[in-house]
Structure 1
Amino acid sequence: MKYEKLLFLLLSYLLLTVTACSDETKIDVTPVVENEEMKIVVQKRIEYQNDYENFREITQKEQVQKVKEIINDAIWENVEVEMAEPPHYKFRFRNPNPEEAGLYDVWISPKNDKLEIVSRNKGYTH
C-alpha cells in the first residue's frame, strides 16, 4: 500500500515537472467540474504481456482533483505516436459524465525521469 502511494505521487510529480519545463503552447481544455462520484482506476501491465491488471483505484477527492489539474495543465500535442512497447500503465477517470471520462496510456522513460502520456481525446504529452 505504501509503495502504491509512493508510485502515484512520483508519477504525479514527474508529470507536473515535465509539463512545467516545456515551452510548447497550451491547448485550451475545458475545466473539469467537480463530481463526488469521480474516481481514477489505474491498471498496470502484466510483465511481458499485453494484458493489464487493476493496480489501484483512487477515490480521494483531493488526489483525483490534483490529477485532473495536472492533466488539464499539461501541454498536449496533436500528433500520432508509435511506441516501441505497450504502455506501462493505463488510467482512466470513471465518471457518470462521458465528457469527463478518458483513457490515458502512460510510459515511463528508460531513465525513470519522464512520463509520456497518450490520450485518444487530447493527444500526446511528455
Structure 2
Amino acid sequence: MKPGVEQKRTQRYVDEVYRLVLEKPGVEDVLIMNRSGVPIKSTMTPQDTLQHACLYDNLREKCQAFLHKLEPPQTLIMLRVRTRNHEVIITPDGKITILVVQNAPDTFLGSKLD
C-alpha cells in the first residue's frame, strides 16, 4: 500500500480487526463503530453497546475540543483510561473506532491501597 493512501474499512477488514483484538489476552469486550459513532460489531449486550457508543461520542467531543486548543491543534489517535481493574482503549481513525475493555488489574496500586 502506498504511504498516505487511506485503507478502505470493509466488512472484511472490520471482521479481521474484531477477531485479532478478541485473541489478545485480557480482552473482555470489543465495540467497533463507524465514523458516525454507530455500533457495527460488538461483544456487549445491545443495551451496553448503545450506552458505550453514546458515552464514547461525548468523550470524543470533549477530547477533540481540548486537543484543538493546543498549539498546534492535535487530533486524537488513542485514548487509554485505566481503573484498578479495567483499562479502556479507544482508537479512532477516519472510518472506524475501536473501543476495547480489558481486564488489567493494577497490582501496584492494589497492594498499596489495601
Common fold, TM-score beyond 0.5? no
Q: If the length of structure 2 is used for normalisation, what is the TM-score?
A: 0.25
Q: If the length of structure 1 is used for normalisation, what is the TM-score?
A: 0.24
State which structure, 1 or 2, has the greater radius of gyration over its C-alpha atoms: 2
